[in-house]
A and B are shown apart, each in its own frame.
Chain A
Amino acid sequence: MTELILQAKHIYKSFHDPIKVQVLTDINFSVSKGEFVSVTGKSGCGKSTLLYILSTMDTDYEGELLIDNILMTGKKEAMLARVRNEKIGFVFQFHYLLNEFSVLKNVMLPGLKLNKFSAAEVEHRAMEKLKMLDIEKLALKNANLISGGEKQRVAIARALINDPHIIMGDEPTGNLDKKNSDKVFEIFNRLTNEFNQTLLIVTHDQSFAERTHRIIEMEDGKVISN
């Protein structure tokens, strides 16, 4: 019996600006623990839009979203923020680190926010994640002084800090060269194999998708193969 981490049930989404455009139509799928799932599809088919809904950041949709078997639809903003903090890790295409902080502090922030461990413990865990990703040397550097590939690895370390149920990525390798994107794939692969980490990654990169456990293919706001 596999444990369900994420379930999307009949999700519809449309934009009303300036005219009503249906972007997602009846999206149904689920992700089980330890799965490495990729979402592919042509540009503009609604992948990012779907991911923002699944990540609880976008609440303006129809249908139901369950994370860890708990219904997210209709929950309060503060409550959803807590879910994102505790159960979801993010990796974006444009690394999105806080430039005011060091690499280490960037990784620590969601951990400090969760407030489950003491600051010293969070720091220790952050160092472990950085070591695992082979970037512990960068720990005390300022976040805006490191390379794009390094930034993406820092973002992954940050996503991991609270041991989330699922890591979501919107084209995390989209902005990287072949060598760096292979590195990122290797990290993801290791996370599923060694730590049974659940991953849901949107990608354009066909070779990247083919190496994952499962591909969800989208077209015009619908899932065409799963």
Chain B
Amino acid sequence: MDALDLLDLDSLIEETDAALREVVRRFGAERVAPRVPGWFERADLSPDQVRELAVELGSIGLLGMHLHGYGCAGTSATAYGLACLELEAVDAGLRSLVSVQGSLVMFAIHRFGSEAQRQQWLPRLAAGTAIGCFGLTEADFGSNPAGMRSTARRDGTDWVLQGTKMWITNGSLADVAIIWARSIDEDGQPGPIRGFVVPTDTPGFSATTIHHKLSLRASITAELVLEGVRLPADAVLPEAVGLRAPLSCLDEARFGIVFGVMGAARSCYEVARDYALTRVQFDRPIAAFQLTQAKLAEMAVAVGQGTLLALHLGRLKDAGSLLAEQVSAGKFANVPAALQVARTARSILGGNGITLEYPVIRHMLNLETVLTYEGTHEMHTLVLGAAITGIPAFR
């Protein structure tokens, strides 16, 4: 039996998907894992380093990997999930880079963009030579994006964007931003929320990096200001009309999160198991004590269950039948489970558990962001509540 794959879930993974996963695992371990603790500790991951990472990720084929055409690899959704798992086993910041680029930005252009927009941006985004960001959240509108204040006013055939966006991953280094704003026609009448492909060198676009984060420190987060950003008619995503569009992008990224957090959990479990087997107290390895064994059993089973759930959702997605509510169920179940594993692992490591010498507290802190972004845990609870009862309780 493999203590790190208690339920033999590897046997559920197709050969091609396993080969893809192996590449990500090796890349993560060799190229990124040694540098992540330093980035996290100093919170000094630079825009240039992100660009370098993106090019490496792109050359492997990780960016937009499960999209088809335009330089994308066209893998299964399950393979994409497994890639997220391996990336987050290194750090959620790395996984966030891939989620935002592939599932939010590239997916938005692929799904809702014009052919010209796809041709212009997707190959470069897939190669990692261009970086994208996704601006939905505002300082006053997080869980309730429908209330957003950013506007896109029609002026002749142009659009003029006005507003601010908050908590935008890679906002201050992106080459292109997908910006969501309430449309306003020439008579000043509000219309549906629309999405725009905004080159970040357009006059009026500016971004400031957000500091003092104690989570996702190996990832750049920014506030965007859109001050009369004038765009030509062809900057709008033609197929994205209404809030359903950005929310469907989030469904895509969230699918990766359901897998990703199990990578963080696996990493914590693995470290805790090694530690428990070597740390001696009262003349025995602490793994010999029943209380520690109970913790290890809980962690191993939680990682197995969460990964099994993720794989099941992967199968549904590959079959084309996955529902948004099922992805919500995945995030609802797996993020708290991963947090619990991280906290339990933290306790097994004792004092060492609070240092950055081990990845555990880093994962634990990162998971606090994951619990909140891509729809907070509470919002997914309400989504499930609405699905189960038919009664929405959001407001």
Q: Is B truly associated with A?
A: no
Residues of B within 8 A of A (CB): none
Residues of A within 8 A of B (CB): none
